[in-house]
Amino acid sequence: MSTDRTRPAGRRDQGGPRSVPPQRSRRLQPHRPQRPHQWFAERLLAVLSGQRPVHWMLGHTIGEAYDQLAELAPSTPLGSTRGSRPVLRHCRGAQPATGVVEAFASIAEGDRVRAMAFRLEQGPDQRWRCAAVELGGERLTAGAPGPR
């Protein structure tokens, strides 16, 4: 019997526990909050695809934008037609003036890609609100059906 109590019984090598080389891992980056246009693109997609009710955007729209969404949402212009749920592919924004962001997004529905553009305006309370939405090159207006 061995008098070395740090080594398991039957172990004959002289080395102790070997150090395992650290695994390569992705760098942990600090969590960056989404930019306002990315956040709104996800919300607009959820409403226009029928995944969320229109009132989910209440308080996040100004002007006629909420009325437009309320009339369009039942027709779900971004609704799934081929059995696959639409997803946001890309979203970019530009700031043409202080407190204004004009953004565009590409949305994939199976093998089809659609475009969505929207305008955000920052209020005196520093909150961003959606002021206009366009889908597939046509302005979404109350009473006009969205493109299919």
Per-residue pLDDT of the chain (148 residues; tens, 9 = 90+): 555 566 667 767 666 556 555 555 556 667 777 789 999 999 999 998 888 998 999 899 998 888 878 877 777 777 766 667 889 999 999 999 999 999 999 998 888 888 989 999 999 999 999 998 888 744 555 555 544 4
Name the burial class of residue 6, with classes exposed (0-12), middle (13-18) and buried (19+) by CB atoms within 10 angstroms of its CB: exposed
d(CA 13, CA 131): 73
The pLDDT value recorded for residue 44 is 92
CA atoms within 13 A on the CB side of 129: 16
Q: Which pLDDT value is given to residue 26?
A: 58
